[in-house]
Amino acid sequence: MQLVFKDSHKTAITLVELLVVLVIIALVAGAVTFAVANSLQKQQIKECQTNMLIIESAKDEYARDHPSATQIDPNEFKNYFHFGIPQCSLHQAYQNVDQLNAKVNCPVHGEIKTDQ
């Protein structure tokens, strides 16, 4: 005696369905990667701007303590920071740190943005 099923269906994923799922996963992964990279870049810019503001504040304090100075003594200027003079998050040294008459500038992110 043999059993015969008239409504037997094979349930399997076709190659096209599998490719569609993989494409959707790739698109979502690409969008997430782009969003994470963009937010990381914005965070680096914000950190750099904050560091430059801290340095400018220390320069103002140094100028108040040394009214006749035109240049900053690097050895004495280090005392105005608890953890050393900040650097750019991309390990770049800031420009114009030792000059009282020039604003601090980052070679990567530019000058301090005051419109934020």
Report how many domains make up the chain.
1
Tell the burial category of 4 from Cβ atoms under 10 Å away from its Cβ (0-12, 13-18, 19+).
exposed
Query: So what's the pLDDT on residue 6?
Result: 59
What proportion of the chain, given as a percentage, has pLDDT over 70?
Answer: 90
Helix (H) or strand (E) holding 49: helix 15-65
Residues of the chain with pLDDT under 70: 1-10, 115-116
Query: So what's the pLDDT on residue 5?
Result: 58
Query: So what's the pLDDT on residue 88?
Result: 87
19 within some domain: no
102 within some domain: yes
22 within some domain: no
Q: Coil, strand or helix: which one is 83?
A: coil
For 103, the domain range is 35-111
49 within some domain: yes
20 within some domain: no
69 within some domain: yes
84 within some domain: yes
Give the list of residues 6+ apart from residue 69 with CB closer than 8 angstroms, or none.
Answer: 62, 63, 100
